């Protein structure tokens, strides 16, 4: 039975964030069979959840032990030392053409160099699968960034080899911007409060010169004197 641990449990205490390490004998079997510069496998937990990942080298700490990044255990929903099955990706995966990513945290993806670093990080992963992925975008700041793959063309599992068109969408923690209010539109709904009786709103009462108000009156008195109509010369 093969079990998976994070690199924290390896004697080296660290490893590549984008792939796993298996035993020396297992690594040789995979490399001999695939005859490729990079080899990929499917890891499957006991609930049949599967993640495609790259094998980035061997270790010498046990025949049935795999070491990988912590995000891989989280993605599979397992704990340290839980069993997994390993299956070689024996068929040719299609090369990715385009990908749309939704960042989990919008604050972590700001900066003009982010897309360039993200593209390189996807190439390091080598294989992409729809769902949640994690990547270290800036090697000088070893911080994991998390993304949901919203769209991946031409398949739900693709290879990333440097020719992938990357598009960032609005982050999960940033709501959509509400539409701007346009008061000139005739179909703009009128607030219910404005449909109430005019007496309830002082600014809707008749406009009256303050000097014409009786001293004892607390309510406005409608204008009843002589005046000019706007734009006309005759008196009313």
Ordered structural domains, the chain, with CATH: 2-88 (2.40.40.50), 98-168 (3.10.330.10)
**For the purposes of burial, counting CB atoms within 10 Å of the CB of 84, is it exposed (0-12), middle (13-18) or buried (19 or more)?**
buried
Bridge partners for 144 per DSSP: 136
Look at residue 207 in the predicted model and tell me its pLDDT.
34
Half-sphere exposure for 114 (CA within 13 Å, toward CB)? 14
d(Cα 22, Cα 57) in Å, to the nearest integer? Answer: 7
Q: What is the pTM of this model?
A: 0.70
d(Cα 162, Cα 121) in Å, to the nearest integer? Answer: 10
- Residue 119's φ and ψ, nearest 5 degrees, are -60, -45
Look at residue 140 in the predicted model and tell me its pLDDT.
83
Look at residue 114 in the predicted model and tell me its pLDDT.
83
3-state secondary structure of 122: helix
Selection from 61, 67, 71 nearest residue 84 by Cα: 67
Look at residue 37 in the predicted model and tell me its pLDDT.
78
Look at residue 62 in the predicted model and tell me its pLDDT.
87
- Taking residue 151's Cβ as centre, other Cβ atoms within 10 Å add up to 12
Q: DSSP label at 54? A: E
Residue spans of beta strands (DSSP E) within 120-169: 127-129, 131-136, 144-153, 157-159, 165-168
d(Cα 20, Cα 57) in Å, to the nearest integer? Answer: 7
Listed as ranges, residues in the chain with pLDDT below 70 are: 107-112, 174-236
Look at residue 31 in the predicted model and tell me its pLDDT.
84
pLDDT tens digits for 112-140? 678 888 999 999 999 999 999 999 998 88
CB-based contact 78:45 (threshold 8 Å):
yes
- How are strands ordered across the β-sheet holding 144-153? 131-136, 144-153, 98-103, 165-168
Residue spans of beta strands (DSSP E) within 37-116: 39-44, 50-59, 65-68, 82-88, 98-103
């Amino acid at each position: 039975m093969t079990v998976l641990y994070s690199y924290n449990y390896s004697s080296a205490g660290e490893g590549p964030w984008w792939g796993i390490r298996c035993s020396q004998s297992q690594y040789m079997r995979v490399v001999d069979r695939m005859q490729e510069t990079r080899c990929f496998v499917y890891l499957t937990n006991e609930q049949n959840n599967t993640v495609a990942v790259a094998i980035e080298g061997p270790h010498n700490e046990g025949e049935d032990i795999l070491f990988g990044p912590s995000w891989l255990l989280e993605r599979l929903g397992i704990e340290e030392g839980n069993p997994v099955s390993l299956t070689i990706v024996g068929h040719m995966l299609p090369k990715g053409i385009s990908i749309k990513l939704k960042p989990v945290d919008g604050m972590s993806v700001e900066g003009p160099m982010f897309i360039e670093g993200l593209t390189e990080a996807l190439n390091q992963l080598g294989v992409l699968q729809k769902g949640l992925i994690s990547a270290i975008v800036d090697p000088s700041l070893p911080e994991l960034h998390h993304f949901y793959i919203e769209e991946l063309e031409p398949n739900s599992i693709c290879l990333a080899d440097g020719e992938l068109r990357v598009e960032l969408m609005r982050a999960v923690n940033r709501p959509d911007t509400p539409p701007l209010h346009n008061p000139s539109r005739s179909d703009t709904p009128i607030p219910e409060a404005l449909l109430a009786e005019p007496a309830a709103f002082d600014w809707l009462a008749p406009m009256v010169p303050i000097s014409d108000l009786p001293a004892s009156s607390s309510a406005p008195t409608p204008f009843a004197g002589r005046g000019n109509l706007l734009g006309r010369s005759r008196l009313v």
